[in-house]
Chain A
Amino acid sequence: MRFSKVFLSESTDASLGVISGIKRFPSREICTPVAFTYTKGGSVPHLTREVLEMAFDASMPVVMPAENIAFAYEAVKVFQNGMTSFSGLSESIFWCSQFDHAVNSPKSLNQKDKVALWTRFGKKLIDADSYMDMMEAFKPDLFTVLSNNDTNKTSSNKQTRKSVDQSISLLQKCVERHKNSSILKDTGILAGIQGGYNVHDRTRCAETMSKAEVDGFVIDGLFTNGLEVENITFEDIEPVIKVTMDHLPKDKLKAVYGAWNPDVILKLVDMGVDLFDTSLAYLSTEKGCALNFKYPKTTKRSSEVLETVPTKKSASSECNLLTNGVATVDKPDDDLLVNGNWCVINTMPGGQPVFSDRIVNSVSSEDTNVQNEKETRKDTNKTDELNHKSKLPKLNTPPDPPKKKATPAEVEEKSAAKYSSFEFSLRDPSVREEFIPLDPDCLCLTCKKHTRAYIHHLLKTKELLAPVLLMIHNLHHYQMFFENIRHNVKHCGKAFI
């Protein structure tokens, strides 16, 4: 597996990259930032292969947590063709992560050189060798090594120290096995950076692991309850993300798991994170909700692009709101950004980098503080936007101290931009007679064919079609979110606009 950066923003650490060199799909390339589709038990939750083909490109890249496919290990070993073939997703690029980051994992039961996986049939203590045996049976294209990520915001210094010590030792063993495995030698390998919210342990872990022979890093150990990730704020994680990113090589893949608030995702992209997953789409579905936050493509800069679809308005008024919404520039794009979430590109024009704004691999000197620029974005009007656009390439402001006390204006702006609500519940009685799509502008199969009222009825009668329809919409919505992130990083140099 190879990863190369093809565009680096001048104003932030956001970048565009390409994952390629996958042995099973030599001509396929994935454009980052990207969200791999979260799966459970080897399938996209609620969606069969047939439905995936009807609603999406069934070759979407998937992330399968070892924790929720461990039950199939023996059968997949007999099957011999790997987990994705076993579960009907053989054309998908397959990232095997370690823990199921969309559930609450009660851990605290790790032993000296073993880590607890909570499988469907209970706790399973595994060491580096048995984990690598699993990887050899599952045959992923990319996997995260075994580590101890049993830390969250409340973890003690002792716990974070232990998680780092154990993870470093597990990484060494896994890397050794990886090098010597004939099955896995072409498989991409990601190290899990641990250390909870302890800056000192994060630094130690990142420093040590940055020297390992791996293709990239997962910044892990930020939560143990995947169901509550959406409530963790960017301010909570910023110090440890920053210190981790500072100690990792710029040119390698960086991943963060979990169902983060869209706001946090955007800020992580601007800090240089490349790889995410769609667990938010899944968790929203399980709650009976539809994602409805608005994040349009733009070449303009406005703090007002973040809107949610009001749930109680009529179809026509919503359409008006959306079409009159500021900064929606939906001009068709001719590059790889528009090819859906996973961007299958087979040729790079003329061997040149696809994005020519800046040549890659030069060390990024600017640590521009994203928050800082927001002041200049307030009260956007056409003239301002144009001015900004012309100024854009020159943006190279020196970094400000990150934890500057926010002014009232900034606080107000922050809350205005924040996705305090990024979904709406279809269980709510107010949608009972809303014979309009989940999102009148959405082009997913659910929105093209079904109404809010129908999904409300399906939820009320506990029918299995409700989560099918919601999952289709939410996954589509999340894919579009990332398509637009790539667009905006290219055109605005950042995702958080």
Chain B
Amino acid sequence: MFDSALSFEVLAKCGTSKARTSLMTLPHYTVETPMFMPVGTKGTMKGLLPDQLKTLDCQIILGNTYHLGLQPGSELLEKVGGLHNFMGWDRALLTDSGGFQMVSLLKFAEITEEGVKFQSPNGDKECMLTPERSIEIQNAIGADIIMQLDDVVPTLEKGQRVVEASERTIRWLDRCLVAHKRPKEQSIFPIVQGSLIPNLRIKNAEELVKRNTNGYAIGGLSGGEAKDDFWKIVKLSADHLPEDKPRYCMGVGWAVDLVICCALGVDLFDCVFPTRTARFGCGLVKSGQINLRQKAFEFDMEPIDPECDCSTCKTYTRAYIHSIISAETVACHLLSVHNLAFQMRLMRSIRESIKQNRFPEFVKDFMRINYPDGQFPLWIVESLSSVNITLDR
């Protein structure tokens, strides 16, 4: 059906910064980028129906290999013909490698050259996630984009362990590529690692690019590093990845970070933030977020955001959501819908502004709304200035 599991067509480039808007054609859907990918960890988007996600204009969503591998398990997913069929989602999917969860969720994970050794959460059994096994599970899940197993180290880790992880990530990529059984239907994205060390990042990116895959990810960030380090590593990594392939920055979901990373030339993002903050009772608004648990909203008959056109804001007041927030699951669904609408609208505005060649103006307006006093954090000023967008203080 497809010559390749992914084709990438740049539609327009920003004349000033590195931002671009493109079409990424995948077996299940053609995704407009820059795009935010909501995280549906266990084959569902936190209580929302697939049709609701479509109404929200979600085009690609993420599933987690670690969780899906445990339940329902790869055998069942293979039987039912993959996660698309299982969950009733006919647009694009991306799965991670499972490595990140091993290290972040499990206490006793041990990383060796062979793979990640961990205690099964259901018993005392010792399990091993190798690059081959990760790809085998991801082949069964059948997502349009799958991720290589990478050697994840905490972002703030220093020294020899970081070098080892960066080099091992390349060796594991080669094993993943060999193990991959469905290259016509699924694209493996390698992951640029190398902590906050510029030379290591560059060397790592150059090695990955040699493998000539359909797209690339920037990993090992959003782990508590300073914003000043964050943007520099994103820029450095993006600069060393090919122009004609999609770039995916993992774990980024805050509005300000999304705008900056788009300016630096990143195309894809994922984060649990919008749906997780919804479960904590927070609604996203242009100036940040509001916590609807607060007593202040008891008699507030406005929608979460009067300018929002989502189904939540069209029907419900802050007062009603406040009144049911800890009692009814409906409150959580309403906030998830609103927060995803917020993310999708932001990405749409970014794409439109690039097409209309007014992305720099969009960025300036956006920052002015987020920082009405004009006191922009230095990292924002510097990162934007590195791509020729100047914020007026």
Contact = CB atoms under 8 A, between A and B. Distances in A.
Interface stretch (A26-34, A97-105, A144-152, A446-454): A446-454
Contact of A49 (B49, B316, B317): B316
Contacts of A453: 72, 76, 80, 86
B49 A46 contact: no
Contacts of B167: none
Nearest to B319: A75
B62 to A, nearest CB: 15
A432 interface: yes
B311 A48 contact: yes
A8 B316 CA distance: 42
A25 interface: no
B334 A48 contact: yes
Interface stretch (A124-132, A223-231, A330-338, A459-467): A459-467
B52 interface: yes
B87 A433 contact: no
Contacts of B287: none
Contacts of A40: 327-328
A457 B311 contact: no
Interface in B320-341: 320, 323-324, 327-330, 332-334, 337
B327 A120 contact: yes
Contacts of A454: 43, 86-88
A435 B334 CA distance: 30
B302 to A, nearest CB: 12
Nearest to B330: A43
A87 interface: yes
Interface residues on B, range: 35 or more
Interface residues on A, range: 35 or more
B111 to A, nearest CB: 27
Interface in A2-61: 40-43, 45-51, 54
Contacts of A467: 329
Contacts of A458: 42-44
Contact of A87 (B72, B298, B320): B320
Given A78-B299, A461-B71, A463-B42, A49 B323 contact: no
B114 interface: no
A461 B67 CA distance: 9
A287 to B, nearest CB: 16
| Chain B CB within 10 A, most for which of A40, A47, A464 | A464
B90 to A, nearest CB: 10
B355 interface: no
A88 B315 contact: yes
Contacts of B48: 465
B51 interface: yes
A42 B321 CA distance: 11
B301 interface: yes
Contact of B88 (A48, A433, A450): A450
Contact of B330 (A46, A433, A457): A46
A161 B7 CA distance: 79
B80 A435 contact: yes
Interface string A469-489: 000000000000000000000
Given A86-B320, A464-B332, A75 B43 contact: no
B79 interface: yes
A464 B52 contact: no
A468 interface: yes
A433 to B, nearest CB: 6
Given A42-B320, A453-B86, A48 B44 contact: no
B52 A51 contact: yes
A71 B311 contact: no
B393 to A, nearest CB: 42
B47 interface: yes
B299 A46 contact: no
Interface in B356-370: none
A125 B319 CA distance: 25
Nearest to A469: B49
Contacts of A74: 298-299
B82 interface: no
Contacts of B329: 45-46, 464, 467-468
A261 B171 CA distance: 63
B50 interface: yes
B311 A50 contact: yes
Contacts of A41: 323-324, 327-328, 330
29 contacts: A41-B323, A41-B324, A46-B329, A46-B330, A46-B333, A49-B311, A50-B312, A51-B49, A71-B323, A72-B320, A75-B299, A75-B320, A78-B301, A79-B317, A86-B317, A86-B319, A86-B320, A87-B320, A120-B327, A433-B76, A445-B49, A453-B86, A454-B43, A454-B86, A463-B42, A463-B44, A463-B47, A464-B46, A464-B47
Given A41-B323, A467-B329, 9 more contacts: A42-B324, A45-B330, A46-B47, A47-B330, A79-B301, A86-B317, A86-B319, A454-B88, A461-B67
- Closest CB pairs A-B (n = 3): A464-B47, A50-B311, A88-B315
